[in-house]
């Protein structure tokens, strides 16, 4: 079934001005480009070349659609056009015979752009898309490169958009993407979905990349804005897409559930001027009920497909579900959350997980035992510059009546924070502790 944005874009192309038509075509391309690139990458075995051929198909659409009309299935037209250019490219190569043997009869039976429906096999393209996900998130790339390449190939973001999202110079992002493509080609990374232990190892990388993208939008590391909703939307869309492509993977559904739950709070997380609102102070009537329902459904699918102990994302989704089911902050089942964080710490040990467990323990059992946990983390090298460590410690000290120490912790947290909105919040908390 055709996506509604594509249908809306068709009307803009057929009735709008030249500039409007161009924007509408680019909107369609942004929606369809991951599938186009994935389908072509299976032929050329190079995501860089596949992206270039997809761009060629976009140019062809910009030239022909305003004049000839929009095809019934724009995505199929773009895919067929890019595939034909891929076939021409392969045929021009000296090793055409070997490539043709690898590709098989699909090359000879690819339908022309004028008849897109005949060559459009959604199931086949979904398989290709899954291959593209695993290729873009291959462990041979650094985490930064995986994020940039995933946003480019699967999120449809331009280089300037990615640079703005992560507050990085455009040349840096451009080089990161180019190097990632070259690395994949140089390492001869296969365009495939791995199986067995390799698949489990690679799937973790895929999920981590999507989670990191969402987190950067949910609580921006630096800059003047605490939230970047566009990044959250991109990550959520990728998680939903991956869940549709891998319906039998419990951790995929669990990640989707976690992001649905987290995204549901977006409207309540900032005030009128963009200032952060902490979880305890949020108006839960502003939480998005539709996203909460989607989160519950995704978590149910994760539990239904699981055959063993819950994975890290399933545990995090269960924690988020506890918050979702509570009508107020005080009614939250903090004892269950503390238990779940304990399970998560055993499943995926991390100082950050321990810090979160301390917060849950403070609500379930009081600030004193939680402070003992936090104090064991003060010598942890990975948390040396992590602003949330002194922030949590300041909160616990304030609740214990040790206001002078609390103020010092909040001030230190503000010094470490790179996000301007978060820094302002921490300074306000320091002033309140002093008062």
Sketch out the chain's domains with CATH numbers: 194-332 (no CATH), 349-435 (1.25.40.10)
The contacts of residue 40 (CB under 8 Å, 6+ apart) are 49, 50, 53, 54, 79, 82, 83, 86
pLDDT score at 287: 97
pLDDT score at 267: 93
pLDDT of 25-66, one tens digit each? 877 887 788 889 988 988 888 888 989 999 898 898 888 888
| Separation in Å, CA 26 to CA 5, 54, 180, 234 | 11, 12, 24, 17
Residue 404 has pLDDT above 80, yes or no: yes
Which residue carries 């390449």 as its tokens? 149
d(CA 84, CA 352): 50
Closest among 425, 70, 102, 83 to 269, alpha carbons compared: 425
8 close to 157: Cβ distance less than 8 angstroms: no
- The SS3 call for residue 367 is helix
- What b-and-e string marks burial along 63-73, b requiring 16 or more CB atoms within 10 Å of the CB? ebbbeeebbeb
How many residues make up the chain in this entry? Answer: 435
Confidence of residue 167 (pLDDT cuts 50, 70, 90): low
d(CA 360, CA 326): 14
324 close to 292: Cβ distance less than 8 angstroms: yes
Residue 371 has pLDDT above 90, yes or no: yes
pLDDT score at 161: 80
């Amino acid at each position: 079934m055709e996506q509604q944005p594509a249908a809306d874009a068709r009307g803009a192309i057929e009735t709008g001005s030249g500039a409007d038509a161009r924007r509408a075509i680019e909107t369609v391309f942004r929606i369809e480009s991951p599938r186009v690139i994935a389908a072509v990458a299976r032929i050329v075995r190079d995501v860089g070349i596949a992206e270039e051929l997809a761009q060629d198909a976009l140019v062809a659409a910009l030239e022909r659609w305003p004049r000839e009309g929009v095809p019934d299935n724009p995505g199929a037209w773009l895919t067929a056009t890019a595939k034909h250019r891929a076939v021409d490219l392969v045929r021009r190569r000296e090793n055409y015979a070997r490539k043709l043997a690898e590709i098989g009869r699909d090359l000879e039976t690819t339908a022309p752009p004028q008849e897109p429906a005949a060559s459009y096999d959604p199931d086949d393209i979904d398989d290709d898309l899954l291959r593209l996900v695993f290729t873009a998130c291959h462990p041979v790339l650094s985490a930064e490169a995986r994020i940039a390449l995933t946003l480019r190939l699967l999120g449809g973001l331009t280089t300037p958009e990615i640079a703005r999202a992560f507050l990085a110079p455009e040349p840096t992002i451009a080089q990161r993407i180019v190097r990632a493509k070259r690395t994949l080609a140089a390492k001869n990374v296969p365009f495939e979905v791995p199986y067995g232990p390799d698949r489990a190892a690679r799937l973790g990388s895929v999920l981590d990349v999507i989670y990191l993208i969402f987190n950067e939008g949910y609580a921006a590391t630096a800059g003047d804005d605490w939230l970047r909703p566009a990044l959250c939307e991109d990550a959520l869309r990728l998680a939903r897409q991956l869940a549709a492509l891998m319906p039998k993977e419990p951790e995929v559904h669990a990640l989707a559930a976690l992001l649905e739950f987290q995204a549901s709070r977006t409207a309540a997380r900032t005030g009128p001027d963009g200032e952060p609102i902490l979880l305890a102070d949020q108006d839960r009537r502003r939480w998005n009920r539709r996203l909460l329902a989607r989160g519950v459904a995704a978590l149910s699918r994760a539990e239904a497909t699981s055959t063993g102990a819950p994975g890290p994302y399933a545990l995090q989704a269960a924690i988020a579900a506890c918050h979702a089911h509570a009508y107020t902050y005080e009614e939250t089942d903090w004892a269950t959350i503390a238990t779940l964080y304990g399970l998560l710490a055993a499943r995926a040990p991390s100082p950050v997980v321990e810090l979160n467990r301390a917060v849950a323990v403070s609500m379930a059992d009081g600030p004193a035992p939680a402070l003992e946990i936090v104090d064991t983390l003060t010598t942890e090298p990975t948390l040396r510059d992590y602003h949330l460590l002194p922030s949590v410690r300041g909160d616990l000290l304030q609740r214990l009546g040790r206001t002078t120490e609390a103020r010092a912790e909040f001030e230190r947290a503000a010094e470490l924070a790179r996000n301007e909105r978060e820094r302002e919040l921490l300074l306000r908390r320091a002033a309140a502790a002093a008062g």
